[in-house]
Amino acid sequence: MKEREAYSILAVIDFSESSKEVLKWAVCMAEKLSVHLTILHPYRLNQLDKKEDVVSIKKKIEFDATKNFELVAHELFDNQKVSFDFRAEVGFIQDRIEDYARRNNILLFIIGFNLIDGNEEILKEIENEIKIPLMVVPQPKNNLINQLPSYSR
């Protein structure tokens, strides 16, 4: 068995309000388990005009995603002792998850309900192909993260 440091948690976000809850849970779990956290923002290039340069569009989307993540990360990660990285990757959610799971030792995969609502393919793919534990974070109606124990130092 590999050392604990070789394991990670994978959190998938789309920058919605649900994503903030996903990140809060992911940070809490990564700190509790003393593992690395990877935050993944999968996106699709399905509305391109034939005249648009795909490479330029990808760079702009990834630049914007990184800027959006930095805004969220500032408030979530400043006082935490969690190692993390952020990735914006083009592709279907389940393909990006499967690729990451194939190359890394994932202890837990965390996603917001809004990203899987109505898309049973994602759940089937995780269950049948990826085979890693899954945490689905509900819509942020009643800020469930406040019910978690505090790990402040």
pLDDT, tens digit, 9 for 90 and up, residues 70-86: 988 887 776 778 899 99
The span from the CA of 148 to the CA of 24, in Å, is: 10
Q: Does domain 4-45+55-145 have CATH number 3.40.50.620?
A: yes
DSSP strand E in the chain: where? 7-12, 36-43, 84-90, 105-112, 134-137
Mean predicted confidence (pLDDT) in 55-83: 86
List the helix and strand counts (H, then E) for the chain: 5, 5
Residue 125 has pLDDT above 90, yes or no: no
The amino acid at residue 123 is L
Residue 12 has pLDDT above 90, yes or no: yes
Mean predicted confidence (pLDDT) in 110-132: 78
Q: What is the pLDDT of residue 89?
A: 93
- Tens digits of residue pLDDT in 130-149: 778 888 888 766 544 444 44
